[in-house]
Structure 1
Amino acid sequence: MPKRTYQPKIRRRARVHGFRKRMSTSSGQKVLKSRRRKGRSILAPQRVHVKPHVDWNGTKSGSASSNHKRK
């Protein structure tokens, strides 16, 4: 069975589809303009549930709670 191709990364999502990326090009500004005109409350992808320790690369080894051992 082939590997799943979607390996989500928070930082890449923000850099490729984020608000600042949209504002940097004229076509991106048109996208934001049309979303505003349509009444969208969310114009671009945003970080919604960010925990205090954010693993920007999306790997599972970066969590702070997994490093502590119980006695």
Structure 2
Amino acid sequence: MGPTFNPSNLKKKRRFGFRARSKTAGGRKVLSSRRRKGRRRLSH
């Protein structure tokens, strides 16, 4: 079995990026809770 973690910035952005989070209701909830907590970075 090869390495299972093959990092790709494109995949990261598409899956966990700001626009990906904004598309779903759950993702928007994540963003709002992170805003409320005062996170500097909301998403990738």
> Hey, what's the Cα distance between the residues in 1 that align with 2:3 and 2:9?
17
Given the two structures, how large is their TM-score scaled by the length of structure 2?
Answer: 0.94
Please name the residue that 1:26 is paired with.
25
Distance in 2 separating the partners of 1:29 and 1:41: 16
Aligned equivalents of 2:37 and 2:3: distance in 1? 34
Partner of 2:15: 16
Give, in whole Å, the separation in 1 of the partners of 2:9 and 2:22: 19
Give the gaps of 5 or more residues in structure 1.
Answer: 46-71
Aligned residues between the structures: 44
Corresponding residue number in structure 2 for 1:4: 3
1:48-63 aligned within 5 A: none
Shift of 1:43: 0.3
Question: Percentage identity across aligned positions?
Answer: 45
Q: Determine which structure has more spread, i.e. the larger CA radius of gyration.
A: 1
Q: By percentage of residues, which structure has more helix?
A: 2
* 4+ residue runs over 6 A deviation: none
Consecutive unaligned residues in structure 2, runs of 5 or more? none
CA RMSD of aligned residues (A): 0.7
